Amino acid sequence: MQSIEEMYEMYLNKVFLFLLSKTNNEHLAEELTQETFFQAVQCIDLFQHFPVFGLPIHIIFA
């Protein structure tokens, strides 16, 4: 499994751009991006037990 830092670096821009497209508000998209990664870290064990291969990770996190 990827480290949290690797996931953050790899998906930060995708998550942010996805949320920006949904909110049309840069500040809100930044806050939601932070919250998305915070929640992902809180639930990291779920990703280990239920692989989500093939799904866009920014959709999963959002």
Cα–Cα distance, 4 to 17 (Å, whole number): 19
d(Cα 39, Cα 24) in Å, to the nearest integer?
22
Residue pair 33/19 in contact by the 8 Å Cβ criterion: yes
Residue 61 has which token pair? 């996190």
Asked if 4 and 44 touch (Cβ cutoff 8 Å), the reply is yes
The length of the chain, given as a count of residues = 62
pLDDT at 21: 96
At 51, is the secondary structure helix, strand, or coil?
coil
Q: What pLDDT, in 10s, does the model give residues 39-62?
A: 888 876 666 655 555 555 555 555
Q: pLDDT by residue (tens digit) across 5-23?
A: 887 888 899 999 999 999 9
Q: Which of the pair, 32 or 49, is modelled with greater confidence?
A: 32
